[in-house]
């Protein structure tokens, strides 16, 4: 669940939720060199450093500067793969790379390299540095891929230890991954073959057996010795800890029982609060809760952009201002301020049915035993804050004992402990013993009265209910219901039928908040007293829409409205007035949703934009937003509860904000203000005056400018990373600015123009997000030299020249005075006119200069804007360059992948290789490869992976229509049919670009995938203009992919298609060879079967001919034997007919017998004819016969039999029947 509980002991005991961690992200988009942050450090100045696989990045809160290896510059970074960073006691930054050990020189912004001079070096393994550790003096312990090293920082000498075969005191393995130094200066060494230690002054190692677990348990990746002298050991198999003061019994293997999975623990860290943190390569971040003896786990949650950026943790660090940094393998670095906040967020977690049923929490009530009743848009929840587990009740249409409506707007508990819930279909009573709900409508056929907005059980155990249809009172003993509604003809009726909050004060008075003011109900008379907003009366209610009512412990009634908070004041004469507090006074937002009183008497108020804390006595406000750890968005009216332990709960549109006011604290660590840039005419001072600064500007104390440097700017920063965008600044140029100039993080520079020559001091101070100012800011003394004509020597020279000139002029003047005296009077008048003209000219020039000054000021501002534009362009060019480098690296990787896949003809190996490389290159929740079977109109998926588990092969038909929710793998089919790639970063909004169907219900990705796919990429497998299949990748995270991922996947698919086509051709060739072999065998078997069949036919023919001969002989003999007596019968019947004494009936019988005998004779003759025909001795002739006579004979044959069986047997002939046919 997103609520990863970090409980303090008191919080755990009370069942209240502890604070959650709200991470901010820093990624490649913000300027980092790469997504994989392998190491983190903070230098002596306070700047953050991040090591990655693509260089070293420095972060000052607002800008990232990256250092990389430059083969043409020997002072650049030794290698771009930076595995470890270390800051020594002097504040120097040491860098462990795959190219050796470096130290950063801030004065020159270059790197000093240190390499061991080992005779007979066995390769570059000793340059691959995995860990750096101070020896407590002037040296560094260095873990490498080829042994252990010690570096003396004073002498520069290396000492190296290796694994020596046959030497039991040598290293267990040359692959050294982790180091730790205990209080006794014993060095602990984690290797690929177990754990070693070396005592102080020793030259050999002791080997220590770890818990059973084979090679994985012995591959030690992380070591930590905490403040309690416990050794924590992280390996490929998990985590264990040893009490160094105890024996083997003091060793503990940690696992699921302690809240941590068995798996690779890649990093261990202990922060300044003595809290142990562990990072896993698969399961995110773990925090050890010492009082509970278990870990709390923090993982990436796709819907929450403020969760951990990635579950693959590579590095951990806590800086000096309380910010905790988590470096990940694939998503940059996440940071959270551990020194402020204290809020917990309770939210629904996707795919976790044990969390909230919905994030919109409209009502909260006490469920007892530390649990809560929560009314949401999708059911009633009984929620356990301690475990985060929620039991959900919903409306079931076929169950009358369920909730009346799944949207629960209000909750109340009566004096018998029964829970009452109100929604859009009346009220429901819940019996906890039976688990049954009993429903009740307040008015049949009136949806307004059955839309519940608030409920209250008074001291008489009567239930008061507000709805959109008025105020209702339900007597719980008798079930009697009374309704109060607004009556326009009755001024003492309810102010408005739409009512919400209810309050019974300590005197038993009932207060009702409506959409038309506040009402006080008189129980005896059944009338209402109204308090409304009066625009002409500042002591009236601030607004008529009342949202919440609260009576403080001192008896003061507080009224929250749509526009401000109101304090009710009762005068000595009983007159009621209101004192208003609005946004202008400090409230976070005018719309008050709910409010609660903390144990210290302060009011906590939920609004549309966050929470406000108000101290009524001091009149002080403090506002909190999502950036401080609360939920995002607005809060619901009247959705609030103060639990018995003092915990406050506020429900909103995106979950619940929960906290104990005693746990809310600010970050009291002041930021360090630094000057990070100095520009002259929008150019860096280092370029305008090279060598003027002897180091970085942040280390400079003085700077001297010439008179020509008339426009200069200073940039500053605050090295406080809790929320850099919320830091504030104040600066002053002493000698020019009369007072401090306030600014924010969006304008961190000051510009000055045309200052007089002299000495100035620029100083800047900063405040963190909680308003804590730095007591001492950064200062820089600035000296502006005067122009040469204002220098002292120039002034002395000018004075001498002036004195000499004056003396010569005096002598000359004396001689010419008499000559000029005559003309003087004549010239005075002309001179006076000339002076007037000059005065006019001077006035014109003054105005012209003023105009030019204004134009110059405008040009200065334009130049300043162009400077900022140029900076942005420079940053964009840098990002493009990084993208080009990334593309080049990806091309190299893809080329290697192509060679690997085309090197085999086994399809399973090819598909597995494609999956492994895709998983390495991008986020992959699911992966599958589909092969097109054209003859069968099928898309077969022989290889599919879901959440790391191989799915069985499956297929889908291509004849089903797209957009049908029952059709699986629709995006794969679309890609195959359209021969184009599918690129989706939010399935909910982007699926319609490809399928004419709503996102919900359409199985867009594949039947093999079980995780919800938010980001999807599908590319065709094309060979020689033939689409042979598709390659599908998806992630449960939204916006998991960029265009570069699609390009890489397409390139990989091209290699995979060629490899699969080669493998398919190879397999088809083998199949054809086997088929030819089987066909040859089948032909041989068929030939033998034909031969056997010919023999069988010959025997059958012989038997048939023998049977025919025997039949003919039988018919010939039998016909002869039968015709002789039959001829006698016919003759005797003929003689009998000659007797004239026969009766008519007897005669007819004899005639019939004679006819039958003759017919039998004909049949016998026919049998003989058939025998002759079969023998080929008879020629058949076609002759006409009498049809009527033949039918009469048939009739006579069957007449007697029909009579004997009581059956009517008649032969009727048509009149037009021909006589012969």
Average pLDDT (714-736) is 96
Sign of CA dihedral 35, 41, 47, 51: negative
Give residue 1010's pLDDT: 43
Q: Provide the pLDDT confidence category of residue 1172 given band limits of 50, 70 and 90.
A: low
DSSP letter (8 states) at residue 768: -
Give residue 792's pLDDT: 63
Pairing of strands 702-705, 778-784: parallel
Q: Provide the pLDDT confidence category of residue 148 given band limits of 50, 70 and 90.
A: very high
Give residue 1103's pLDDT: 78
Burial class (CB in 10 A: 0-12, 13-18, 19+), 1187: middle
Give residue 999's pLDDT: 44
Same domain, 222 and 318: yes
Q: 153 in the Ramachandran plot: left (φ > 0), alpha (ψ -120 to 50) or beta?
A: alpha
Segment 484-527, tens digit of pLDDT: 999 999 999 999 999 999 999 999 999 999 999 999 999 999 99
Residues sharing a CB contact under 8 Å with residue 1004, sequence separation 6 or more, in sequence order: 970, 971, 987, 991, 995, 1013, 1016
Q: Has residue 1002 got a pLDDT over 60? A: no
| 278 within 8 A of 314, measured Cβ to Cβ | no
Other Cβ atoms less than 10 A from the Cβ of 1166: the count is 11
Give residue 858's pLDDT: 67
Q: Has residue 884 got a pLDDT over 70? A: no
Q: Has residue 194 got a pLDDT over 50? A: yes
Give residue 1000's pLDDT: 42
Give residue 632's pLDDT: 93
Q: Has residue 540 got a pLDDT over 90? A: yes
Average pLDDT (1004-1016) is 62
Strand-pairing partners, residue 315, are 327
Strand-pairing partners, residue 992, are none
Average pLDDT (515-543) is 96
Strand-pairing partners, residue 82, are 97
Same domain, 935 and 1064: yes
Which residue in 324, 319, 321, 320 sits closest to 335, CA to CA? 324
Same domain, 1171 and 1048: no
Cα 1218 to Cα 238, 515, 516, 913, 1196: the distances in Å are 109, 107, 109, 90, 21
Cα 678 to Cα 61, 361, 687, 702: the distances in Å are 18, 52, 11, 12
Same domain, 925 and 997: yes
| 178 within 8 A of 124, measured Cβ to Cβ | no
Q: Has residue 631 got a pLDDT over 60? A: yes
Average pLDDT (448-463) is 95
Segment 396-448, tens digit of pLDDT: 999 999 999 999 999 999 998 899 999 999 999 998 888 899 999 999 889 99
Q: Provide the pLDDT confidence category of residue 827 given band limits of 50, 70 and 90.
A: low
What is the C-alpha separation between 325 and 913, in angstroms, rounded? 34
In residues, how long is the chain?
Answer: 1221
Q: Has residue 998 got a pLDDT over 60? A: no
Average pLDDT (861-877) is 70
Residue 778 lies in a domain: yes
What is the C-alpha separation between 53 and 79, in angstroms, rounded? 9
Residues sharing a CB contact under 8 Å with residue 163, sequence separation 6 or more, in sequence order: 147, 170, 171, 172, 173, 174
Pairing of strands 194-198, 206-208: antiparallel
Q: Provide the pLDDT confidence category of residue 9 given band limits of 50, 70 and 90.
A: very low
What is the C-alpha separation between 33 and 17, in angstroms, rounded? 38
Output 127 or 7, whichever has higher pLDDT.
127
What is the C-alpha separation between 518 and 749, in angstroms, rounded? 51
Last residue of a domain, one of 868, 901, 934: 901
SS3 content of the chain, % helix, strand, coil (to 5): 25, 35, 40
| 468 within 8 A of 454, measured Cβ to Cβ | no
Segment 28-78, tens digit of pLDDT: 999 999 999 999 999 999 999 999 999 999 999 999 999 999 999 999 999
Of 361-370, 382-391, 449-458, 967-976, minimum mean pLDDT range: 967-976
Output 873 or 198, whichever has higher pLDDT.
198
Helix (H, G, I), strand (E, B) or coil at 803: helix
Same domain, 918 and 882: no
DSSP letter (8 states) at residue 587: -
Dihedrals phi, psi of 167, to nearest 5 degrees? -100, 105
Same domain, 1030 and 1163: no
What is the C-alpha separation between 648 and 600, in angstroms, rounded? 13
Which residue in 535, 454, 534 sits closest to 498, CA to CA? 454
CATH of the domain at 1139: 1.10.287
Last residue of a domain, one of 789, 811, 831: 789
| 1045 within 8 A of 1017, measured Cβ to Cβ | yes
Other Cβ atoms less than 10 A from the Cβ of 471: the count is 24
What is the C-alpha separation between 861 and 751, in angstroms, rounded? 10
Average pLDDT (1209-1220) is 76
What is the C-alpha separation between 327 and 309, in angstroms, rounded? 9
Range of the domain at 1100: 1080-1181
Q: Provide the pLDDT confidence category of residue 727 given band limits of 50, 70 and 90.
A: very high
Give residue 832's pLDDT: 67
Other Cβ atoms less than 10 A from the Cβ of 1208: the count is 6
CATH of the domain at 739: 2.60.40.10
Average pLDDT (604-613) is 97
Q: Has residue 1112 got a pLDDT over 70? A: no
What is the C-alpha separation between 133 and 101, in angstroms, rounded? 13
What is the C-alpha separation between 878 and 871, in angstroms, rounded? 11
Same domain, 842 and 984: no
Q: Has residue 3 got a pLDDT over 50? A: no
Residue 772 lies in a domain: yes
Chain centroid to Cα 761, Å, comes to 49
Query: How many Cα atoms within 13 Å fall on the side-chain side of residue 1158?
Result: 14
Segment 911-956, tens digit of pLDDT: 988 898 888 888 888 999 999 988 888 899 999 998 888 889 988 8
Helix (H, G, I), strand (E, B) or coil at 816: helix
Residue 199 lies in a domain: yes
Other Cβ atoms less than 10 A from the Cβ of 1106: the count is 10
Residue 1136 lies in a domain: yes
CATH of the domain at 981: 3.30.450.40
Q: Cα(first)–Cα(last) distance of the chain, in Å?
A: 99
Residue 582 lies in a domain: no
Residue 511 lies in a domain: no
What is the C-alpha separation between 480 and 542, in angstroms, rounded? 37
Give residue 110's pLDDT: 96
Cα 844 to Cα 840, 854, 944: the distances in Å are 6, 16, 86
Segment 966-982, tens digit of pLDDT: 667 788 888 988 889 99
Average pLDDT (347-372) is 92
Dihedrals phi, psi of 776, to nearest 5 degrees? -125, 120
Same domain, 945 and 1040: yes
Supply the mean pLDDT for the chain.
86
Q: Has residue 908 got a pLDDT over 70? A: yes
Residues sharing a CB contact under 8 Å with residue 24, sequence separation 6 or more, in sequence order: 306, 334, 335, 336, 723
Average pLDDT (1130-1143) is 74
Output 857 or 407, whichever has higher pLDDT.
407
What is the C-alpha separation between 345 and 626, in angstroms, rounded? 10
Of 318-322, 713-717, 868-872, minimum mean pLDDT range: 868-872
Same domain, 804 and 915: no
Same domain, 785 and 799: no
Last residue of a domain, one of 870, 901, 932: 901
Give residue 126's pLDDT: 61
Output 165 or 432, whichever has higher pLDDT.
165
| 415 within 8 A of 387, measured Cβ to Cβ | no
Give residue 947's pLDDT: 83
Same domain, 1149 and 1211: no
Residue 73 lies in a domain: yes
Residues sharing a CB contact under 8 Å with residue 260, sequence separation 6 or more, in sequence order: 238, 239, 254, 278, 280, 283, 286, 295, 297
Q: Has residue 1107 got a pLDDT over 80? A: no
Helix (H, G, I), strand (E, B) or coil at 42: strand
Give residue 1176's pLDDT: 59
Other Cβ atoms less than 10 A from the Cβ of 959: the count is 9
| 1003 within 8 A of 991, measured Cβ to Cβ | no
Same domain, 746 and 895: no
Residues sharing a CB contact under 8 Å with residue 385, sequence separation 6 or more, in sequence order: 15, 16, 17, 346, 370, 371, 372, 647, 658
Residue 258 lies in a domain: yes
Query: How many Cα atoms within 13 Å fall on the side-chain side of residue 222?
Result: 29
Of 11-15, 22-26, 456-460, 576-580, minimum mean pLDDT range: 11-15
Q: How many domains does the chain have?
A: 6
């Amino acid at each position: 669940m997103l609520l990863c509980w970090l409980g303090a002991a008191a919080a755990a005991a009370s069942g209240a939720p502890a604070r959650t961690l709200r991470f901010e992200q820093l990624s490649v988009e913000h300027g980092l060199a790469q997504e994989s942050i392998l190491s983190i450090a903070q230098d002596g100045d306070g700047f953050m450093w991040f090591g990655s696989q693509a260089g070293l990045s420095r972060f000052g809160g607002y800008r990232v500067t990256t250092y990389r290896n430059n083969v043409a510059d020997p002072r650049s970074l030794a290698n771009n793969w930076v595995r470890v960073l270390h800051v020594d006691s002097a504040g120097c930054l040491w860098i462990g790379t795959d190219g050796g050990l470096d130290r950063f020189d801030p004065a020159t912004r270059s790197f000093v390299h240190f390499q061991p001079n080992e005779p007979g070096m066995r390769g570059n393994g000793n340059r691959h540095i995995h860990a750096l550790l101070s020896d407590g003096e002037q040296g560094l312990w260095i873990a490498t891929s080829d042994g252990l090293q010690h570096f003396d920082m004073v002498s520069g000498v290396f000492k190296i230890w290796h694994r020596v075969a046959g030497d039991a005191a040598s290293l267990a393995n040359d692959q050294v991954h982790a180091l730790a130094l205990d209080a006794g200066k014993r060095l602990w060494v984690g290797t690929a073959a177990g754990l070693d230690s070396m005592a102080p002054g020793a030259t050999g190692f002791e080997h220590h057996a770890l818990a059973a677990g084979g090679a994985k348990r012995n591959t030690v990746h992380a070591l930590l010795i905490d403040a309690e002298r416990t050794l924590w050991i992280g390996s490929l198999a998990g985590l264990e800890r040893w009490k160094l003061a105890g024996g083997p019994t003091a060793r503990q293997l940690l696992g699921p029982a302690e809240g941590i999975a068995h798996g690779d623990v890649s990093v261990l860290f202990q922060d300044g609060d003595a809290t142990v943190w562990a990072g896993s390569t698969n399961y995110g971040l773990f925090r050890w809760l010492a009082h509970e003896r278990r870990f709390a786990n923090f993982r990436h949650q796709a819907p929450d952009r403020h969760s951990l950026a990635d579950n693959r943790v590579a590095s951990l660090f806590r800086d000096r201002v309380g910010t905790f940094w988590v470096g990940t393998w694939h998503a940059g670095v996440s940071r959270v301020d551990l020194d402020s906040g204290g809020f917990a967020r309770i939210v629904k977690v996707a795919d976790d049915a044990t969390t909230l049923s919905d994030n919109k929490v409209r009502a909260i009530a006490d469920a007892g035993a530390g649990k809560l009743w929560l009314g949401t848009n999708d059911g009633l929840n009984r929620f356990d804050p301690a475990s985060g587990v929620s039991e959900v009740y919903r409306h079931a249409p076929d169950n009358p004992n369920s909730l009346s409506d799944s949207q629960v707007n209000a909750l109340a508990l009566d004096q018998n402990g029964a829970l009452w819930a109100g929604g859009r279909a009346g009220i429901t009573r819940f019996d906890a013993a039976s688990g049954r709900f009993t429903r009740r409508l307040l008015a049949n056929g009136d949806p307004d009265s059955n839309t519940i907005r608030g409920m209250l059980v008074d001291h008489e155990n009567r239930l008061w209910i507000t709805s959109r249809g008025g105020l209702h009172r339900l007597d719980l003993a008798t079930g009697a219901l009374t309704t109060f509604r607004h009556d326009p003809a009755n001024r003492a009726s309810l102010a408005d039928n739409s009512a919400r909050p209810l309050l019974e004060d300590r005197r038993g008075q009932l207060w009702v908040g409506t959409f038309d003011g506040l009402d006080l109900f008189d129980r005896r008379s059944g009338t209402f007293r109204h308090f409304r907003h009066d625009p002409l009366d500042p002591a009236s209610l601030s607004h008529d829409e009342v949202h919440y009512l609260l009576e403080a412990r001192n008896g003061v009634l507080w009224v929250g409205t749509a526009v401000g908070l109101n304090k009710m004041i009762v005068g000595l004469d009983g007159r009621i007035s209101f004192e208003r507090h609005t946004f202008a006074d400090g409230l976070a937002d005018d719309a008050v949703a709910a409010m609660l009183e903390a144990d210290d008497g302060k009011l906590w108020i939920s609004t549309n934009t966050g929470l406000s804390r108000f101290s009524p006595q001091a009149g002080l406000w403090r506002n909190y937003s999502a950036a401080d750890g609360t939920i995002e968005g607005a809060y619901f009216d009247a959705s609030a509860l103060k639990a018995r332990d003092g915990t406050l709960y506020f429900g909103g549109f995106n979950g619940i904000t929960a906290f104990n006011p005693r746990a809310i604290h600010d970050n009291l660590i002041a930021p360090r203000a630094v000057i990070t840039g100095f520009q002259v005419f929008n150019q860096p001072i280092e370029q305008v005056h090279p060598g003027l600064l002897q180091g970085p500007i942040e280390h400079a104390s003085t700077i001297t400018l010439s008179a020509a440097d008339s426009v200069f700017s200073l940039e500053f920063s605050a090295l406080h990373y809790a929320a850099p965008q919320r830091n504030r600044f104040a600066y002053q140029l002493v000698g020019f600015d009369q007072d401090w100039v306030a600014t924010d993080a969006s304008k961190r520079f000051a510009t000055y123009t045309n200052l007089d020559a002299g000495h100035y001091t620029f100083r800047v101070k900063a405040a963190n997000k909680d308003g804590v100012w730095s007591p001492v800011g950064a200062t820089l003394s600035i000296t502006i030299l005067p122009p040469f004509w204002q220098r002292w020597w120039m002034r002395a020279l000018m004075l001498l020249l002036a004195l000499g000139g004056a003396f010569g002029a005096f002598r000359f003047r004396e001689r010419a005075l008499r000559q000029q005296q005559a003309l003087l009077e004549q010239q005075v008048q002309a001179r006076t006119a000339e002076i007037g003209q000059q005065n006019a000219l001077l006035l014109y020039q003054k105005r012209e200069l003023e105009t030019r000054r204004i134009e110059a000021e405008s040009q200065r501002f334009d130049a300043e804007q162009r400077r900022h534009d140029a900076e942005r362009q420079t940053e964009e060019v840098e990002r493009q360059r990084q993208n080009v480098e990334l593309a080049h690296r990806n091309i190299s990787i893809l080329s290697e992948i192509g060679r690997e896949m085309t090197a085999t003809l086994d399809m399973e190996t090819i598909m597995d290789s494609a999956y492994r490389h895709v998983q390495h290159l991008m986020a992959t929740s699911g992966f599958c490869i589909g092969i097109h079977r054209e003859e069968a109109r099928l898309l077969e998926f022989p290889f599919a992976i879901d959440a790391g588990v191989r799915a069985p092969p499956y297929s889908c038909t291509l004849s089903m229509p797209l957009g049908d929710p029952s059709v699986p793998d629709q995006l794969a089919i679309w890609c195959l049919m359209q021969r184009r790639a599918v690129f989706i970063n939010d399935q909910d909004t982007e699926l319609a670009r490809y399928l004419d169907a709503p996102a919900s219900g359409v199985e867009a990705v594949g039947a093999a995938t079980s995780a919800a796919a938010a980001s999807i990429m599908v590319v065709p497998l094309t060979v020689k203009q033939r689409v042979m299949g598709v390659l599908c990748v998806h992630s449960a995270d939204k916006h998991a992919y960029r265009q570069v991922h699609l390009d890489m996947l397409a390139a990989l698919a091209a290699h995979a298609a060629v490899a699969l086509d080669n493998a398919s051709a190879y397999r088809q060739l083998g199949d054809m060879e086997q088929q030819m072999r089987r066909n040859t065998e089948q032909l041989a078997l068929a030939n033998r079967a034909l031969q056997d069949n010919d023999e069988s036919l010959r025997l059958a023919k012989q038997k048939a001919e023998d049977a025919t001969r025997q039949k003919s002989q039988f018919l010939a003999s039998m016909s002869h034997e039968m015709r002789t007596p039959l001829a006698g019968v016919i003759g005797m019947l003929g003689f009998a007919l000659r007797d004239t004494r026969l009766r008519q009936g007897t005669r007819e019988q004899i005639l019939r017998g004679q006819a039958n005998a003759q017919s039998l004779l004909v049949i016998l003759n026919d049998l003989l004819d058939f025998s002759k025909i079969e023998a080929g001795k008879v020629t058949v002739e076609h002759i006409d016969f009498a049809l009527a006579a033949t039918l009469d004979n048939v009739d006579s044959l069957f007449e007697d039999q029909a009579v004997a069986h009581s059956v009517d047997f008649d032969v009727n002939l048509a009149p037009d029947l021909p006589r012969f046919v």
